[in-house]
Amino acid sequence: MRIFLDTSGLIALSDEKDKNHTRAEVYLRQQVQKGARFVSGRNILVEYIDGVTKRISKKKAVEELDKILNSKLLVIEPVSKADWDKAIRYFRKYHDHQIDLTDCLSFAIMERLDLNTALTFDNDFKTHGFDVLD
């Protein structure tokens, strides 16, 4: 089983002060014990690392980047032209929601990879029809 790892999941896993930290860690451990692996998009990696750079430090961002790039549990998926085009369509489709382009790109990647579940605390994934951590 593969599970998409969203930015909010990455933040919760890495920040012990995050309100979702314990839930994310427990979920991760349970899923790994069941044989699950995680997938994230380059868009998520950029969003997460940029946030660490701006909110904590460049040094911490480099450490986090290295940890992610060397992970045996997480694969960073490139974005295809088809993913990008679909993301733009979704972004326009959700004109009445505050769903951002990064999430729309994640939706497209998940659909291409036939992933149904995301480790996220962002309800936009649920709005789009994916299973999320409740």
Tens of pLDDT, residue by residue over 100-120, are 999 999 999 999 999 999 999
Tens of pLDDT, residue by residue over 11-27, are 999 999 999 999 999 99
Say if CB 87 and CB 99 are below 8 A apart. no
30: containing domain: 2-78+115-126
Q: Tell me whether residue 16 is in a domain.
A: yes
Q: Give the CATH number of the domain where residue 10 resides.
A: 3.40.50.1010
Q: Are strands 131-132 and 117-119 parallel, antiparallel or unpaired?
A: parallel
How far is Cα 112 from Cα 134, in angstroms, rounded to an integer?
24
Q: Tell me whether residue 100 is in a domain.
A: no
The pTM (predicted TM-score) of the whole model is: 0.94
Q: Tell me whether residue 84 is in a domain.
A: no
Q: Tell me whether residue 93 is in a domain.
A: no
Q: Tell me whether residue 10 is in a domain.
A: yes
Helices 81-93, 101-112: crossing angle, 10 deg rounding? 130
Structural domains of the chain, count: 1
